[in-house]
C-alpha cells in the first residue's frame, strides 16, 4: 500500500487485516500485526481480535483483547455477551463467573437477550426461557419436536452435563413460533438483541436443513441467512 500506492494504512485497514487473519485461523499473525502497528490500536482493532478469538476458541488472547477494550472504556454488553458465550461454549464456569463479576463492578447491566418476529402484522417478542408469550406452551412443544428431529440426524449434540446459562435462548423460541405460524413458503425473519451463540447458530443451520426453510436472523452484529444447512456468514461472526 505504502510503496506502490502511496497510501498509509489507517486503523480501519488494520482492523480489516486482523479480521482476515482471524478468519484464516492465523491468530498469531493478527496479534503480531497489532504489536507492530505504527498507530495506537483502537477499539475496532481490539474488537476484531476479540471476534477472531471467539471463532478460534482462544480465551487467553480474548482476555487480552477484552482488557484493552475495558481500558479504552468502550466495552459494551455485546462484548461481555461474546465473552460469556465463549466461556460457556468451552464449559468454563470460572471464566463465566469472572465475566459476571466484572459486569457487576462496571455496572453494566445484562441486556436481556430477546428476539422479535413479525407474524400477521404483529410483533412477537420472546425472552430466554420465555414465560410470558400467550402461545408459549405450543411454542415449546414445537421446539421439542424440532429438537427430536434434529437430534435424530446425529449432527447435533445436546451438551449434557453442562447446565449453564444457555437453557433456551430466545431465538430458538422465535424460530419455533415462526415455523408453526407462517406459511411454509415464507422465509422466517428474526431480530435478536445480542450476538447469536454458537449453539443456536448450529441449531439454526440444522433446522433450515431439516425443515427446508430459509431462516434469517439479524443479531447485534450482522445478518445470518440460513439455508440448506449452512449460513451466509460462513460460520464467522
List contacts with Zn ion (CB under 5 A): 169, 197, 200, 224, 231, 233
Q: Read off the C-alpha cell for 17.
A: 487485516
Q: How near is the Cβ of 41 to Zn ion at its closest, in Å?
A: 27
Residue closer to Zn ion (CB basis): 43 or 115 = 115
d(C-alpha 119, C-alpha 135), whole Å:
13
d(C-alpha 105, C-alpha 214), whole Å:
41
Within 8 A by CB and 6+ apart from 138, the residues are: 180
Q: How near is the Cβ of 18 to Zn ion at its closest, in Å?
A: 20
Within 8 A by CB and 6+ apart from 225, the residues are: 214, 215, 216, 231, 232
Residue closer to Zn ion (CB basis): 26 or 233 = 233
78: helix, strand or coil: helix
Q: Read off the C-alpha cell for 188.
A: 422466517
Residue closer to Zn ion (CB basis): 29 or 100 = 100
Q: How near is the Cβ of 52 to Zn ion at its closest, in Å?
A: 16
Residue closer to Zn ion (CB basis): 68 or 172 = 172
Residue closer to Zn ion (CB basis): 145 or 236 = 236
Rounded to whole angstroms, what are the CA distances from 152 to 178, 212, 228? 22, 16, 17
Q: How near is the Cβ of 183 to Zn ion at its closest, in Å?
A: 24
d(C-alpha 230, C-alpha 157), whole Å:
17
Q: How near is the Cβ of 198 to Zn ion at its closest, in Å?
A: 8
What stretch of H or E contains 215? strand 215-218
Q: How near is the Cβ of 35 to Zn ion at its closest, in Å?
A: 30
Question: How far is Cα of residue 192 from the mean position of the Cα atoms in its chain?
Answer: 10
Residue closer to Zn ion (CB basis): 34 or 200 = 200
Amino acid at each position: 500500500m505504502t510503496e506502490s500506492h502511496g497510501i498509509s494504512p489507517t486503523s480501519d485497514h488494520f482492523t480489516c487485516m486482523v479480521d482476515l487473519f482471524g478468519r484464516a485461523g492465523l491468530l498469531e499473525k493478527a496479534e503480531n500485526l497489532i504489536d507492530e502497528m505504527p498507530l495506537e490500536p483502537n477499539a475496532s482493532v481490539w474488537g476484531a481480535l476479540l471476534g477472531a478469538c471467539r471463532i478460534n476458541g482462544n480465551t487467553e488472547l480474548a482476555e487480552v483483547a477484552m482488557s484493552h477494550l475495558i481500558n479504552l472504556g468502550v466495552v459494551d454488553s455485546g462484548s461481555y455477551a461474546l465473552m460469556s458465550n465463549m466461556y460457556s461454549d468451552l464449559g468454563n464456569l470460572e471464566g463465566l463467573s469472572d465475566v459476571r463479576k466484572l459486569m457487576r463492578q462496571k455496572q453494566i447491566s445484562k441486556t436481556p437477550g430477546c428476539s422479535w418476529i413479525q407474524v400477521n402484522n404483529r410483533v412477537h417478542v420472546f425472552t430466554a426461557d420465555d414465560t410470558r408469550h400467550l402461545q408459549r406452551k405450543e411454542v415449546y412443544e414445537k421446539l421439542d419436536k424440532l429438537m427430536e428431529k434434529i437430534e435424530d440426524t446425529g449432527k447435533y449434540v445436546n451438551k449434557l452435563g453442562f447446565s449453564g446459562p444457555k437453557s433456551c435462548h430466545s431465538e430458538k423460541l422465535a424460530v419455533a413460533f415462526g415455523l408453526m405460524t407462517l406459511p411454509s413458503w415464507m422465509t422466517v425473519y428474526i431480530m435478536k438483541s445480542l450476538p447469536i451463540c454458537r449453539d443456536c447458530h448450529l441449531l439454526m443451520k440444522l433446522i433450515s436443513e431439516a425443515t427446508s426453510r430459509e431462516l434469517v436472523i439479524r443479531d447485534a452484529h450482522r445478518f445470518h441467512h440460513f439455508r440448506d444447512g449452512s449460513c451466509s456468514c460462513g460460520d464467522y461472526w
